[in-house]
Amino acid sequence: MNRRKNGETFPVELWTSMVRNDAGEPVAMVGVAREITERKRSEARVQASLREKEVLLKEVHHRVKNNLQVITSLLNLQADRISDERVQVVLRENQARIKSMALVHEELYQSEDLAWVNFTDYLRRLTNGLIQSYARSGKTIDLRLELEDLRLGIDAAIPCGLIVNELLTNALHHAFVGRPAGTVIIRFSKEQGKYILGVVDDGIGLPGSIDVGTTDTLGLHLVSTLTDQLRGSLSVSRQGGTSFLLVFEEHIERPVSPAEH
């Protein structure tokens, strides 16, 4: 900051350089000061505009989350009024899918960076919610999370979250038929620029007659479609239960946080 003769202060940009003699010894200092009042005002206007846009974007995510929650509540009311158990199951499954999307917008609303979801926190909340909703079945499910601290952009987070929702729901409903307990492991990591998502259970195993890429089962068909949307690859192992392995890349440029190196 500099000061005018009338006592008013103003911002300056100061450039200095050392002057040396032939022996390399410092003999003087040269400085140039330039007033940058207008530049500072412009920067302040830009910052204020950015803050306003961030507030508006947070509000958008908040309202999207609230609207999705209204839809899940409507589905819940509808399910309670229907006696057909098969229709109830369909409504509950779609309710869970919508919740998984609402959770992404909730994470973004609470995040300091509105472009990226802390996907590790998201997976913890999503999977714990599914396990709690399944607790009334009477089975004991040991859910193990092996997660690296990673973030995803919203375009990858929503389909990836839906895939986890489908695979975990499928395991909870079909993997442990005739058994009182079981184990499900969710893994999420990043290696050589690629994200690796694994959903593993020690259940009865996916029937060999089911091909994930061609099945007409809605849940697995949705997993296949979302994998294509992520431009990823999905492999299935039926040894000692069922293991799904999804590998994909984010096709956008973004700064890498220290935790992701």
Residues 6+ apart with CB under 8 A from 212: 220, 223, 224, 234, 236, 244
In a domain, 73, yes or no: no
| Number of separate domains in the chain | 2
Assess whether 144 and 252 both reside in one domain.
yes
Residues 6+ apart with CB under 8 A from 234: 212, 223, 224, 227, 244, 245, 246
In a domain, 114, yes or no: no
- In this prediction the pTM is 0.69
In a domain, 55, yes or no: no
Instruction: Show the tokens assigned to 166.
Output: 């489908």
DSSP 169: H
Give the domain CATH number at 188. 3.30.565.10
Half-sphere exposure of 191 (CA within 13 A, CB side): 8
| Among the listed residues 107, 117, 124, 226, the one whose alpha carbon sits nearest the alpha carbon of residue 166 | 226
Range of the domain at 240: 132-261
Q: What is the pLDDT along the chain (261 residues), one digit of tens a residue?
A: 889 899 999 999 999 999 999 988 999 999 999 999 898 888 888 888 777 777 777 777 778 888 888 888 888 888 888 888 888 888 888 888 888 888 888 887 777 776 788 889 889 988 988 888 777 667 788 999 999 999 998 888 889 999 999 999 889 888 888 888 899 999 999 999 999 999 999 998 888 778 777 777 888 888 999 999 999 999 999 888 999 999 999 865 444 444 454
d(CA 56, CA 136): 40
